[in-house]
Amino acid sequence: MARIIREFKSKNKVSEDESLELLGEELKSFRLKRYHNVFNSFKELNTHTDSFEVYKLPVFFKPKRAESGRIYHLGASVPKYIRECFVTKKKEIIYEVDMASAQPSILFLEWMRSLSSKGALKPAENAEYELCRGLFLEGGIYAYIRDNSNYYSQFKSEEKYGELKEQILTSLNGKNDKAPFVVALKELFPHFMKWVIDIKEKEGHKRVSHIGQSAEANIFVEVYKRLPDDIFSLIIHDCILTTKENTRLVRRLLVERLRELYKDIIPPNESLEKVFKIEKVSHEYTIKAKG
């Protein structure tokens, strides 16, 4: 990928705050240009009926399956705000079925499995195991962190949800394990975070994200392969897009796959209703325009 951040040159010395502000403006400009190019490319498709025209788009790239099992393709790279402008060719509204707090949830499951292999747990380990298991089943990991941490409480407003999620994911996947956002997670989940940090120290920090993405692909890619060919569906890492009438089928298959993979942790009678969410993707303005 071409370098998107150029070096800032100035005759006068630039302070750290000014440098960050300049960098922020540069990133905003790049993001807006990307949104503009992607939107115009897909808008152009409205004048065509041949799917081969997709290959001629300036934003098109050949689909690729990463080592982790994740599928990277044009549809997955479309920014969320542009995706909201989409409907199917038949002008059907698009919905998504995704996993609540996907990366933390999957890492919780992998950690719980590693604990189960140890046999009897210490009381503190068992208490944290049950806490994490409950948060996973309720789909409430991010909310619990926000409401029970002095550090993460600064992200309580809805507008700062993106920052909350970003810092939690950086805590799990990043290099700096002494940063305040990592320390805050250690206070809430000491045994889980010890497992995460031990992996980073032994195998490198990228190993944690690889574990999460591999497990994610093992769930979502497999379910995507099992979907009927005659329905609209599109996989985007930790969610599957489809039309409203097919959302329950997708969720049922995701639940079955999760039980299949983690039957040693999830009892057959345990409800997974809150683990996978169904939400509308197409924006109301798009719906009215296409209606």
Predicted pLDDT of residue 1: 38
Across the range 216-220, mean pLDDT stands at 95
CB contact at 8 A, 221 and 54: no
List, for residues 107-118, the tens digit of each pLDDT value.
999 999 998 777
| Domain edges within the chain | 15-60, 96-290
- Top-ranked range on mean pLDDT: pick from 3-12, 72-81, 145-154: 145-154
List, for residues 192-208, the tens digit of each pLDDT value.
999 999 999 999 989 99
- In this prediction, residue 287 has a pLDDT band, given cuts at 50, 70 and 90, of low
Predicted pLDDT of residue 112: 93
pTM equals 0.81
- In this prediction, residue 5 has a pLDDT band, given cuts at 50, 70 and 90, of very low
